[in-house]
A and B are shown apart, each in its own frame.
Chain A
Amino acid sequence: MFVFLKSMWTILMHSFRKRETILYPEQKPYIPPRWRGRIILSRDPDGQERCVACYLCAVACPVDCIALQATHTPEGRRYPEFFRINFSRCIFCGFCEEACPTYAIQLTNDFEMSEYERHNLVYEKKDLLINGPGKYPDYNFYAVSGLAVGKKEKDEESLNQKPPVDVDDLML
């Protein structure tokens, strides 16, 4: 009998507790730094597109929401002619970011991308491409790996790579 009264008292005292609700549009919730939100395409520190149009992100994408077409500059550097992400399909799994060999495609912690019309959720390259290097400010893919293209030699100075491991050594 008194158990009932006690539980009613406990519930009543909850009136004076702090609210758990975050009043969203006025009060922003905490977003962890590794949050997987709106996808962007980043640039090298020298301002060129990082994307080499290798299609790995489109292959990795489990819902097939990435479409792109490769082309190349007169010097032979590959870049996407168009790059299209259909965010009405995207599940924000981050597989594209993991697949990307050049850190070009990255997920940010912006999640406020609602639209009134469905076709507005299809982002073209101009919507995706940002002016900065994103999460990896010093990384320059063409400087640390890849091939010399056209008149440009590979930058051996900043290569900073260990020689390949001889697998048989590890057995000792």
Chain B
Amino acid sequence: MDKNLFSQIVFYCFAVVVVGSAAVVVFSRSLIRSAFALLFTFGGVAALYVYLGADFLAATQMVIYVGGILVLLLFGVMLTHKLYDLNLRGEAFQFLPALVLVLVVFSTLVFFMLRADWFSGGERAATPTTAAIGELLMRDFILPFEVASIFLLIALIGAALIVRRKSQ
């Protein structure tokens, strides 16, 4: 089979997986099913990153999103499942008006995004990105890099503080 055609077909498969599983996350009645569908969303997005030539980012996505955040979400679901209606708001939006609103948002976004004239800095060739990312992180973006470490420190202390049992 023609390589290009095959690649396109696989792309569409991944696209369907991403959007489909996201739909399951949103519309499913079971919390656990949503959490597992989210796994496929994250995985599908990682595959799309590979298509876009972002190899480092794809690996990071799998490791952190699937291996970290998703596991955390599953823990959260499992540990609080007895209290199923951990309700925040008695008055969440009704389903139908929300659906209409969201459809309007989606169509507006798609309509204008497809017609807009994006910046034309040239298409990037599919080269490995890790070295380039490393260089930028150590040079142009060194301040955000260091600040991110303090940020993570604060998040760590805060999360541990909130979850700690004894008030000591």
Partners in one complex: no
* A residues lining the B interface (CB < 8 Å): none
* B residues lining the A interface (CB < 8 Å): none
